[in-house]
Amino acid sequence: MSEATRRWWSGRVGYEVYLRSFADGNGDGVGDLLGLAERLEYLAWLGVDLLWITPCFPSPLADHGYDVADYRRVAEEYGGDAALARVLDEAHARDMRVLLDLVPNHTSSEHPWFRASRSSRSDPKRDWYLWRDSAPDGGPPNNWVSHFGGPAWTYDEATGQWWCHLFLPEQPDLNWANPEVAEAFEGLIADWLDRGVDGFRIDVAHALVKHPDLPDLPPAASPAEAAPGDLLSVFDRFEHVYDTNRPGVLEVYRRWRAVAEPRDGLLLGEVYLTDVATLAPYVVDQDGLHLAFWFAPLDVAWEASAVREVLAAGAGIAEGAVAWITSSHDVSRAATRLGGPHRALVLATLQHGLPGVPFLYQGEELGLADVVVDPSQAEDPIAVRAGAYHRSRDVCRTPLPWEPGPGLGFTSAERPWLPMGPRGEADTVAVQRDDPGSWLQRYRALVALRKAEPDLVDAPLAWIDDVADGVVAYRRGTLLVAANLGASGATVDVPGAVEVAFASDGGTVLEGRALALPSDAAAVVRLGP
């Protein structure tokens, strides 16, 4: 990366704060901005310096904040505008930058815009959303389906038309063909950046623009086998050529870029496209989004050639324009998904050495696995409404354990909003912070290495082909990153090696001119001139 292309986010390490489960500062059982402000010292100690905060706007919480009722202020349950101002001030004092989660594809059905739109066909806000007449048979206007199961349409008896929603009925989709919608978002983006926010993580960034004629979707060429009664799988049985990734969506971000650039704001897209050719246009010319998450690693098999292929594909999209993750609030935690916290750390090690911006999901640094949530305590609409408990996102959203004692330091309330599950003292920040061999200390060392070594940000990436089966390896300047995903130990030749700068297993060492890697372990080796 050249000096001309380096931006303030280059070299930073991100951290997703799932606000409702991070830290409860007012004792009501729900995480909030006061709790975050009180725990910023921990995040600074960990070394992360780019915080993504999940939605904190007023919301009826049909989808836990991703149904926004007011984009201009902070919900009182999270502490209001004053609490966010405190987080921004204290984060900036620690050289941390803060991203808000912006949800532009849809609003809450309780947003004043939609209330007005629903009030009458002639209301000025009617065309701010996607309204259509019934099909000839009296049913929905087309065959589109919701991510959460069922049709992507809900009928409004009062006005005799259907509104479109790619998610819940309480999340009506905005009409991005209306220039007034675009102007409204450009105004609120400017306002938040002027108030000290450093940028935005943009929810479902690829889905804003729809085909103007809203035609039926064709069936998927190779639909996945659906489990009986699994409503969510219906979405995957169509080719989403008219409702997502449409021509015109990049123009939205070009306009946002014109707002963000003078204010030095970051636009980071949740572009859930796992094909390089479809994702690349969002970032490759650097006239739209600054960064886009690369989600393919979330589905990769634990096999060396598959992992290398996915990582190489993401790294090749555009120089430094990919945000890397191994977990998020929408998928099973990496420790569960991959088969253990040691594997999660191996994948994180590989990602931390690649061009772009690596992110941790809260609790990943503690080696946390999923928590099974009983259906009687479920909160995720995927579980509660669709009945798809096997796909519930609650398992990765349970509260963060901070210290031994009642509520494990997350809350003083009698019970948190989601159960803590079987977490114990060994899972807590306090205990792991005092243990030199803990997962927390290993992740902290990995983050510190990323930030201390300019080559991991700026040096050319060179993949190493001549390696043993099961090994993934590459070089960045004076550093070599290697991981052994095989079932037995493997050796990596490292001529000119000086020292092991980081080892995921805490004990990997050089043996002469070779690095001996146990199974499911990764290391970063510092090389001589």
Candidates 203, 243, 453, 458; catalytic one: 203
456-461: long-range contacts (C-beta < 8 A, 24 or more apart)? 456/352, 456/353, 457/1, 457/6, 457/10, 457/11, 457/320, 457/355, 458/1, 458/6, 461/315, 461/354, 461/355
Q: Which of 45, 1, 41 is nearest to 444 (CA)?
A: 45
* Four-CA torsion 125, 130, 131, 133, nearest 10 degrees: 160
Amino acid in the structure at residue 30: V
CA distance 390 to 414: 28
Q: Indicate if 236 belongs to the active site.
A: no
SS (HEC) of 249-316: HHHHHHHHHHHHHHHCCEEEECCCCCCHHHHHHHCCCCCCCCEEEECHHHHCCCCHHHHHHHHHHHHC
Q: In terms of DSSP bridges, do strands 514-517 and 510-511 run parallel, antiparallel, or are they unpaired? A: antiparallel
DSSP letter for each residue of 65-117: TSS-S-TTS--GGGTHHHHHHHHHHHHHHTT-EEEEEE--SB--TTSHHHHHH
Instruction: Give helix 341-352 / helix 439-452 axis angle, nearest 10°.
Output: 10
φ/ψ (deg, to 5) at 483:
-140, 140
Quick check: 294 and 323 in contact, CB under 8 A?
A: yes
CA distance 324 to 293: 6
Q: Indicate if 270 belongs to the active site.
A: yes
Which residues are within 8 A (CB) of 434 and not within 5 positions of it... i.e. 6 or more apart?
Answer: none
The 10 Å Cβ neighbour count of residue 363 is 25
CA distance 519 to 468: 12
CA distance 201 to 222: 32
| Per-residue CA distances from 361 to 14, 17, 23, 446, 490 (Å) | 9, 7, 14, 15, 30
φ/ψ (deg, to 5) at 527:
-105, 155
The 10 Å Cβ neighbour count of residue 228 is 5
Candidates 49, 101, 270, 394; catalytic one: 270
Q: In terms of DSSP bridges, do strands 461-463 and 490-493 run parallel, antiparallel, or are they unpaired? A: unpaired
Quick check: 193 and 260 in contact, CB under 8 A?
A: yes
CA distance 317 to 309: 13
Which residues are within 8 A (CB) of 251 and not within 5 positions of it... i.e. 6 or more apart?
Answer: none
Active site residues: 203, 270
